[in-house]
Amino acid sequence: MKKAVLVLADGAIFHGSSFGAKGEVAGEVVFNTSMVGYQELITNPCFAGQILVFSYPHVGSVGMNPQDVESDKPHAIGLVLSELTQASHWRAKESLDSYAERWGIAGICALDTRRVMSHLRKHGCQPGVLSSEPLSTRALVDRARWTKPYDDVDLVATVTTDKVYAYPEDSAKQGHRHVVVVDLGVCRSVLNSLVALGAKISVVPAATSAETILGMSPQGVFLSNGPGNPMAVKGASQTVASLLGKVPLAGIGLGYQVLGLAAGLKVAKMKMGHRGGNQAVRSLESGQIEITAQHHGFVLEASKTNKDVKASYRNVNDDSLEGIWLPTLKAAGIGFQPLGAAHMHPFYQTFARWLNNNA
């Protein structure tokens, strides 16, 4: 394999071997602690514009297939692995290496990802450059420092749909409760959870106005997951503020944070973020601990809740706010994806009751 290097804006340098597309990419370097599901992660719009470090040492054994993806294309721009393993799964259509090359994703492997993650834990996620080009590391560090801050980019504009569409396309499989999903970077698993609730889904672009959404006569509006800083999503919080109290609202991931902004809360950047399929949260209503999947680098500030906004979930590890609900306005949001049969989670079931009562 050709040599490759990962450099960070603070000057840290990590050498390894290249796979996937050759060349150079620049973006925010983050890590994910999931042990499985790399196909879902690579194709999750939440990782748009990011170089993704995997904590699990062996990645690639199940190859890539069209069944286990969250969208029609990959969104992570770079992959950092300890070991790239050979595909050996019966559903694999191609290897991770060939998939990354086909889609222009740069990759680096054969390096100590524990050291990379330890550095990011200590110094925080930051811009970086992944390159297989024969350039000096000094030049690459400079390029990493010149990379436009991830926080300032409206990444939702790069992943949202450009037209309204129904999901699923087969009308015979559509439910009877009309839900408008605002696409901030929606995952198929989220859409499938709504379908399991009996929803007939209309997915609309992120910039769709409140007037247009209400003109579609929905029983409820769902704000999807997505990438980046919720404060950088142009007009989203204003649109949601115009919808509050007029139709039941639910938000997940980035959609939850946009809902919080619309309700008057503040957002803060996290040092490392929550990214992985092993994030523990506590329900403040039941006291139950849940293991969830999370993919975000921003958080609603827990100290900024007011009498109209109730905290519903907190992170077990850092006590950060993981869920809110606005009982008088029929609105709720969670910062995580429930694992297992997600549509049976209290969050989705509450939204389902609101849909039925609003019919």
Asked if residues 93 and 62 have their Cβ atoms less than 8 Å apart, the reply is: no
42: CB partners within 8 A, 6+ apart: 52, 74, 75, 76, 79, 105
CATH class of this structure's domain 3-148: alpha beta
Domain 156-357 in the same topology as domain 3-148: no
DSSP bridge partners of 310? 325
Q: How many angstroms from the chain centroid is the CA of residue 105? A: 18
State the pLDDT at residue 303: 66
Q: Does domain 156-357 have CATH number 3.40.50.880?
A: yes
Q: Would you call 286 exposed, middle or buried from its count of C-beta atoms within 10 A (0-12, 13-18, 19+)? A: exposed
Annotated domain spans of the chain? 3-148, 156-357
State the pLDDT at residue 359: 57
Complete DSSP assignment for 8-44: ETTS-EEEEEEEEB-SEEEEEEEEE--SS-HHHHHT-
The tens-digit pLDDT sequence of the chain (359 residues) is 799 999 999 999 999 999 999 999 999 999 999 989 999 999 999 999 999 999 999 999 999 999 999 999 999 999 999 999 999 899 999 999 999 999 999 999 999 999 999 999 999 999 999 999 877 888 999 999 988 888 889 999 999 999 999 999 888 788 899 999 999 999 999 999 999 999 999 999 999 999 999 999 999 999 999 999 999 999 999 999 999 999 999 999 999 999 999 999 999 999 999 999 989 999 999 999 999 999 999 999 866 556 789 999 999 999 999 999 999 999 999 999 998 889 999 999 999 999 988 65
Angle between the 254-262 and 236-243 helix axes, to the nearest 10 degrees? Answer: 70
